[in-house]
A and B are shown apart, each in its own frame.
Chain A
Amino acid sequence: MTALGLYRPGTSPLHRAPGGLKLLLLLLAGVGVVLLHRPWPVLAALVAVVLCYAVAGLSPRVALAQLRPLAWVGAVTALFQLVVAGWERAVVVVGVLAVLVLLAALVTLTTRTTELVDAVVAGCRPLRPLGVDAERVGLVLALGVRCVPVVVALAGEVRDAQRARGLAASPRAFAVPLIVRSLRHADALGDALAARGVDD
């Protein structure tokens, strides 16, 4: 099971804020934070984001769970930057990454997917003359969010089956069934969407 970026019901100001506004602020914050080049402002941004989690009524454990998938990338990046550009640069790069991931997760944790989809659909509507199907973009977003726990669960099942057969060290024995099962799931999901009239 995964605790990544899934909506947690609540009544905080962050939960009540419109989804479109939150997406816009996320975009602005994303642009703003990459302009930071010194460690202290980055650390201040990190503290501010953690405070936002508190305002949303989300525990530090939930915030940490969002960063867990970043652990390896963060460690390798930090080491590389430390060797190549020094500790200040390492703190800035890894700190910015953490802020971005935490902010994006905060939006999905405090916003129903339907609301996010509606906001994206509304945002994409002006692009219709260019051939953009706004509803389709919204659906892809919803399916993306929905597929994270599904693929994580599939990976867990494949890993268990792999261990049961004594193939724990084989990346191929892990990757092949995971890809096959993911594709089969995608196929079945396509049928389900068609049955529910999505393509009509």
Chain B
Amino acid sequence: MPVIEAPGVGHRYVDRVVLAGVDVRLEERRVGIVGANGSGKSTFARMLNGLVLPTDGWVSVDGLDTRREGRAVRRRVGFCFTDPDAQIVMPTVAEDVAFGLRRRGLSRAEVRERVDRVLAAHDLAGHADHPAHLLSGGQKQLLALASVLVTEPDVLVMDEPTTLLDLRNAQRVSRVVEALPQQVVLVTHHLDLLDGFDRVLVFDEGRLVLDDVPDVAVPYYRKLMA
């Protein structure tokens, strides 16, 4: 598994500290992140792919610094957002999946082969030429996920990917995530998604307050939020 290092990481927007003193090394296959809204968990997740740069400390993925080698980091670390509508870039399903492969030096045949494979793996093959905005919420999230996975990242960071979904679609996305061979860092409010995870980080008021296995971290988080 890739190794994500974040020693002494913090972030502030002008005078407002949103994250401080986070010191972690992530090398497990499944890492969960929980915390209340505004706890700094999404800011931390965004740091893992260089979307947000730390104002204190540094973040690296397999030795690649997110500040100096952002491009290489983004090629290794895929990012999936909460709202799939905000990350679908192209009008049709197949085009959106293919979008991430532009400028990768692949031939048209290679792009088509990869796109077809990913769409089939996510039950979207029958929708290849459909307008992306006409898909259901669950299908849109699967499309967003497929568009990231087609680039074959080593790490997948997901920021509350099931928050806008109903239970059936949330479970569908959860099953897809479960089967992924990649290292997954999942930010979520759905605590049952963390079953079987190796490690859970609990954030509160911009600090990492607990870093443990789910059996310890989830009850702690429930108590913290009570």
Interface positions of A (Cβ within 8 A of B): 1, 6-7, 9, 112-114, 135, 142-143, 145-146, 149-150, 153, 185, 188-189, 191-197, 200
CB distance from A197 to the nearest CB of B (A): 4
Q: Does B221 contact A (CB under 8 A)?
A: no
B17-28 vs A, CB cutoff 8 Å, 1 = contact: the mask equals 000000000000
Q: Is B89 in contact with A197, judged by CB distance below 8 angstroms?
A: no
Query: How far is it, in angstroms, between the C-alpha of A192 and the C-alpha of B112 when the chains are bound?
Result: 22
**B contact residues, total (Cβ < 8 Å):** 33
Chain B residues within CB distance 8 Å of chain A: 46, 49, 51, 70-71, 74-75, 78-79, 81, 83, 85-92, 95, 98-100, 102-103, 129, 131-134, 147-148, 151
Query: With contacts A113-B95, A197-B71, A200-B71 known, is A189 near B133, CB below 8 A?
Result: no
Query: Cβ of B85 and Cβ of A150 under 8 Å apart?
Result: yes
Chain B residues, CB < 8 A from A7: 91-92, 129, 131
Known: A195-B51, A200-B71. Is A6-B89 also a contact (CB below 8 A)? no
Chain A residues whose C-beta falls within 8 Å of the C-beta of B102 in the assembled complex: 135
19 A-B residue pairings within 8 Å (CB atoms): A1-B134, A113-B91, A114-B90, A114-B99, A142-B91, A142-B99, A146-B90, A146-B91, A149-B91, A153-B133, A185-B86, A192-B81, A192-B87, A194-B51, A195-B49, A195-B79, A195-B81, A196-B74, A197-B100
| Interfacial chain A residues near B100, Cβ < 8 Å | 196-197
Cβ-closest chain B residue relative to A195: B79
Give the docked Cα–Cα distance between A6 and B91 (Å). 7
A7 to B49, CA, bound (A): 33
In the complex, the answer to whether B83 meets A188 with C-beta atoms within 8 Å is yes
**Complex: how many Å from CA A149 to CA B134?**
9
Which residues of B have CB within 8 Å of A113? Answer: 90-92, 95
Are B86's CB and A188's CB within 8 A? yes
